[in-house]
A = this chain, B = another copy of it.
Amino acid sequence: QFYQVAHNFLPSDGVATYVNTGNWSTKAIAEARRYGGVQVAASSEDAQFSYIPSEAGWDVAEDSVYLHYTSNNTIFGTQYRTEPTVSMPLVCDASSDFLSRPLDLDRYGLIYAGAQKNIGPAGATVVLVRDDFLQTRRADLPTMMDYGTHAAKLFNTPPVFAVYMVEKVLRWLDDLGGIPAIQVVNQQKADLLYGRIDRTAFYSGTARADSRSLMNVTFRLPSAELDAQFIAEAKANHLLNLKGYRTVGGIRASIYNACPMEAVEALVSFMDDFEAANG
């Protein structure tokens, strides 16, 4: 989607503003440059993407056709606390925190989100696009890549199983009380886990405190050896997929909507035991 957005909405003589907060932002910027002007308002690359640059310091091109941001960064465990307040329409890659908290939809031209975190199985992507923003797309797009094609009708054979599962997930979320209800649970899960990390010096969070993600909690132990031992022993205790992304190492606990509080409690309990034995 990130290249498709630029292909549709960034004219060759126009400019779009991007905020660079990680791998996906970096890729989105590189693809957008093929189509038109790109201004990078801010980047946290100087500190291994460990924080979300404060909006007060952004250098936004005022004539931007949109401002693109990545609301949550799975690899680095960072997340925007608040939505940007710029004057142009927002375009958001919400792949890893969509449906985890309410969004102020009036600010957005387009939101895209791969299903595989909070929405359903891999193989579908949700796109929300505002009618008046859609009208600003360029002409002569390849039919399949034109958001107008898909807004108008079902053009291609859809990934039926993925869509079926998305419907199940949405009903589950609705029965739970919807996004406001899951937001409360997500905050509780994150508070519990970050609280444990901060309680002693044995564990240290890798994201700056004001930029911590409620979806992906990244932290380290005192050494890479202890990181590896932690991951191995956690696995033996049925706590899986805790290894940090290969380029950054450390520990990453992904606590998406589908992750219950009990799983976070089990992880925290294991962290207590592991520190008692190795701290």
CB interface residues, A 2-59, toward B, < 8 Å: 3, 7, 27, 30-31, 34
The copy count of this chain in the complex is: 2
Q: A31-B142, A142-B34, A143-B27 are in contact. Are A122 and B3 (CB under 8 A)?
A: no
Contact across chains for B3 and A157 when beta carbons are under 8 A apart: no
Stretch at the interface among A159-167, A174-182, A207-215, A261-269: A159-167
Contact across chains for B161 and A114 when beta carbons are under 8 A apart: no
What are the residues of chain B within 8 A of A142 when measuring CB–CB?
3, 7, 31, 34
Q: A140-B34, A142-B34, A143-B27 are in contact. Are A123 and B162 (CB under 8 A)?
A: yes
Give the size category of A's interface with B. 20 to 34
What are the residues of chain B within 8 A of A30 when measuring CB–CB?
143
A247 nearest CB across to chain B (Å): 15
Q: A31-B143, A34-B140, A140-B34 are in contact. Are A160 and B3 (CB under 8 A)?
A: no
Question: How many Å lie between the Cα of A34 and that of B124 in the bound state?
Answer: 27
A120-140: contact bitstring with B at CB < 8 Å (1 yes, 0 no)?
Answer: 011110000000000000001
8 smallest beta-carbon distances between A and B, as pairs: A123-B159, A3-B142, A123-B123, A122-B157, A122-B160, A121-B161, A161-B161, A116-B157
